[in-house]
């Protein structure tokens, strides 16, 4: 097994009775990766995370953390994990400091280093001001931070965060994202979320899961390469007849919009930009704007979901670029 | 394991419940203790005792009675304490913290059990101060007290193990409390089956209070001790299995 691969999941399936929550998922997370785990509600994100952290047993499949199999060496594997569940596991009647001390000891931090570890995470998560307060009296955002502090107190090699930025204000979200980025430098981080910009902001690797199946697994750049659509918009001062535009090589469809704007759809990679510009100069169309249309991450996500819902589901969504494009057109 | 036990004990004292139980039990037992002492020093009782060559001594009369009461009072109080052991963790979603930490199921359950027992040890220590105060005016049979104390610890251990198991079954502390209470009452009532007929002797043998009495009277029998030890072990193992099966569902 690759030494740098901190989490390895093989053929994982999980059933609740007859209901299959996760179907035959395999993936690896390497050191330094921040993996964004995307999916609509009920897609199996939380189940997958629970299985990786050992709070749920897999029905089928093998999981190893930092080289230790979760079934054969549960304690060693769990020691390498820091986990923040969807609802932060906080004892509301304890003070923040007491709670973190307890967590530090629970994670087998040597007695002499407990105090250091606690003050480190208090600093990292911006909790110094509230360290003496009861957890139950803290706001949701601070409770979330205590939850994150708990997950990183033992500097685990794998940090698993289930929707960590829920309930935080925009400034806190930025701070937490910075924290996650810093964690990603030394550890690997798995981050589940359904907030798409968050993935864009912090992750360098993306997995999309739907109906218990992995429908996309690749770097964030792979995902962005899917974002390029074959549509551009031009604006002309003195537009020619729309038929002239349609005759340009590679152009598939032209649509007239307001203020002499045209939405031009072209086939595949035949970007007609050059020809367009030439013709505009020759024909004195007065081209003053040319914008290639980018699909937002949201559109890519929706397109991937839609592709997955289509009948022939089992291939990777990457190979279905064409299908997606046509759907986008329609 | 000890970390979980320590947290459990600390959490107990962070809630008013533990303090009020400590106080209430102390007052109730103190009242009966005082009554019994008062009865003991009545002239006519003293006269009776002096006439009778097999008369019970101070320990047998006062301390044994106190232990009986401790047993009954705690049987009523204990469900309130054990109910929250696991079901509250479930309800507050704190269980994943323990499950994803590098601790085994066994340590979680044993930690919870020991934390609870720690509380009862504190309670019993406080209650034991009352009989010890008799030393000012008389002598005590320390053998009988030790045996009674052992009996009380084992008896409470057995009840705690059962309460812990019931607590693992549900996410609602009140449901756990009521079921535990019903189970205790049933186990106690087995004892009354004795009067009904010979064929019920197995039932009455299973009665949880049945094995407490001899120890209180100072009769140390390995059968009784083993009964409690087995009872505790059985329900602790069931709790571990139950918590483990959560992961499998």
| Number of Cβ atoms within 10 Å of the Cβ of B201 | 11
CATH number, residue A271: 3.30.70.100
CA separation for the pair A44, B19 (Å, rounded) = 44
Is the domain of A151 the same as that of A191? Answer: yes
Same domain, A25 and A150: yes
Beta bridge partners of A292: A232
**Does residue A104 fall inside a structural domain?**
yes
B94/A contact by beta carbon, under 8 A: yes
Task: Tell me how far the alpha carbon of residue B169 is from its chain's centroid.
Answer: 21
DSSP A34: E
Q: How far is Cα B70 from Cα B64, in angstroms, rounded to an integer?
A: 10
> Is residue A330 a part of any domain in this protein?
no
Separation between Cα atoms, residue A215 and residue A23, nearest integer Å: 11
Q: Does one domain contain both A262 and A153?
A: no
Q: Which residues of A touch B99 (CB under 8 A)?
A: 53-55
Give A 23-82 residues with CB within 8 A of chain B: 50, 53-57, 74-76, 78-79, 81
Answer yes or no: do A89 and B247 touch at CB < 8 A. no
At residue B211's C-alpha, the angle toward residues B176 and B6, to 5°, is: 50
Which residue in A47, A80, A78, A43 sits closest to A61, CA to CA? Answer: A47
Q: What is the pLDDT of residues A188-246, one digit of tens each?
A: 889 888 777 888 888 888 888 888 888 888 887 777 666 566 778 888 888 888 887 78
Tokens of A232: 């551009």
Q: Are A163 and A126 in contact (CB under 8 A)?
A: no
Q: Which residue of B has its CA nearest to A52?
A: B100
Which of A196, A236, A244 shows the shortest CA–CA distance to A220? Answer: A196
Please check the confidence at residue A4 and state whether its pLDDT lies above 80: no
Spacing of C-alpha A147 from chain mean position:
20
Closest CA to A94 of A136, A123, A58, A65: A136
The verdict on residue A328 lying in a domain is no
Question: A103: domain CATH number?
Answer: 3.40.50.300
A54 and B100: CB-CB below 8 Å? yes
Whether A281 maps to a domain, the answer reads: yes
Same domain, A178 and A267: no
**Long-range contacts for A239-242 (Cβ within 8 Å, ≥24 apart)?**
A239/A285, A240/A283, A240/A285
Classify residue A275: in a domain, yes or no: yes
Q: How far apart are CA A163 and CA A198, in angstroms?
A: 10
Q: Is residue A306 part of a domain?
A: no
Indicate whether A288 and A232 sit together in one domain: yes
Q: Using CB atoms within 10 Å of the CB of residue A298, give its burial: 0 to 12 exposed, 13 to 18 middle, 19+ buried.
A: exposed
Clarify whether residues A209 and A280 are in a common domain: no
Structural domain total, chain A: 2
- pTM recorded for the entire structure: 0.80
Structural domain boundaries, residue A278: 228-294
Q: How far apart are CA A11 and CA A15, in angstroms?
A: 13
Residues recorded for chain B: 249
- State yes or no: ipTM above 0.85: no
Q: Left (φ > 0), alpha (ψ -120 to 50) or beta: where does B93 sit?
A: left
Per-residue pLDDT of chain B (249 residues; tens, 9 = 90+): 888 888 888 888 888 888 999 999 999 988 988 888 888 888 888 887 777 777 777 777 788 888 888 888 888 888 988 888 888 888 888 888 888 888 888 999 999 999 999 999 999 999 888 888 888 877 778 888 888 889 999 999 999 999 999 999 988 888 998 999 899 888 888 777 666 655 556 666 777 777 888 888 878 888 888 989 999 999 999 999 998 888 877
| Phi and psi, residue A126, nearest 5° | 65, 45
Residues B109 and B240: beta-carbon distance below 8 Å: yes
Q: State the residue for tokens 């003070």.
A: A95
Say yes or no: A283 contacts chain B, CB-CB below 8 A. no
């Amino acid at each position: 097994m690759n030494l740098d691969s901190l989490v390895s999941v093989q053929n994982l399936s999980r059933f609740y009775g007859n209901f299959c929550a996760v179907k035959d998922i395999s993936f690896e997370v390497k050191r330094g990766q921040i993996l964004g785990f995307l999916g609509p509600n009920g897609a199996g994100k939380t189940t997958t995370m629970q299985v990786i952290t050992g709070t749920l047993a897999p029905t089928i499949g093998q999981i190893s953390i930092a080289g230790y199999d979760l079934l054969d060496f549960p304690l060693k594997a769990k020691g390498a994990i820091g986990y923040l569940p969807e609802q932060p596991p906080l004892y509301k009647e304890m003070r923040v400091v007491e709670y973190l001390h307890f967590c530090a000891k629970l994670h087998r931090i040597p007695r002499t280093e407990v105090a250091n570890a606690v003050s480190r995470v208090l600093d990292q998560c911006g909790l110094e001001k509230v360290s003496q307060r009861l957890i139950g009296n803290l706001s949701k955002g601070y409770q979330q931070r205590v939850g994150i502090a708990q997950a990183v107190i033992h500097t685990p090699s794998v940090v698993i965060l289930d929707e960590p930025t829920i309930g935080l204000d925009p400034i806190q979200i930025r701070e937490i994202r910075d924290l996650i980025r810093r964690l990603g430098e030394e550890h690997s981080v798995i981050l589940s979320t359904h907030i798409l910009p968050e993935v864009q902001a912090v992750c360098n690797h993306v997995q999309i899961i739907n109906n218990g199946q992995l429908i996309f697994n690749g770097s964030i750049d792979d995902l962005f390469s899917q974002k390029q659509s074959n549509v551009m918009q031009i604006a002309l001062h003195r537009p020619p007849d729309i038929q002239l535009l349609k005759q340009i090589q590679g152009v598939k469809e032209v649509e007239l919009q307001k203020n002499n704007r045209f939405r031009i759809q072209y086939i595949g990679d035949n970007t007609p930009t050059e020809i367009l510009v030439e013709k505009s100069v020759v024909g004195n169309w007065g081209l003053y704007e040319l914008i290639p249309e980018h699909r937002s991450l949201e559109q890519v996500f929706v397109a991937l979901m839609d592709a997955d819902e289509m009948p022939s589901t089992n291939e990777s969504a990457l190979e279905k670029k064409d299908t997606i494009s046509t759907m986008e057109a329609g | 394991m000890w970390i979980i036990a320590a947290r459990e004990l600390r959490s107990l004292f962070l809630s008013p419940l533990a303090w009020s139980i400590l106080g209430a039990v102390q007052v109730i037992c103190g009242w009966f203790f005082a009554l019994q002492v008062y009865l003991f020093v009545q002239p006519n009782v003293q006269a009776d005792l002096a006439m009778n060559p097999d008369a019970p001594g101070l320990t047998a009369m006062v301390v044994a009675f106190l232990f009986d009461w401790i047993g009954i009072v705690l049987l009523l109080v204990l469900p309130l304490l054990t109910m929250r052991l696991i079901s509250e963790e479930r309800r507050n979603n704190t269980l994943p913290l323990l499950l994803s930490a590098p601790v085994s199921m066994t340590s979680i359950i044993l930690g919870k059990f020991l934390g609870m027992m720690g509380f009862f040890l504190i309670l019993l220590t406080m209650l034991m101060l009352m009989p010890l105060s008799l030393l000012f005016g008389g002598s005590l049979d320390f053998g009988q007290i030790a045996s009674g104390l052992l009996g009380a610890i084992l008896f409470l251990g057995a009840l705690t193990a059962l309460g812990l198991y019931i607590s693992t079954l549900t996410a609602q502390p009140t449901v756990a409390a009521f079921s535990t209470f019903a189970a205790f009452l049933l186990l106690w009532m087995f004892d009354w089956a004795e009067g009904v007929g010979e064929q019920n002797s197995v039932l009455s043998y299973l009665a949880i209070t049945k094995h407490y009495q001899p120890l209180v009277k100072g009769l140390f029998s390995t059968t009784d001790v083993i009964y409690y030890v087995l009872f505790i072990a059985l329900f602790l193992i069931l709790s571990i299995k139950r918590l483990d099966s959560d992961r499998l569902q």
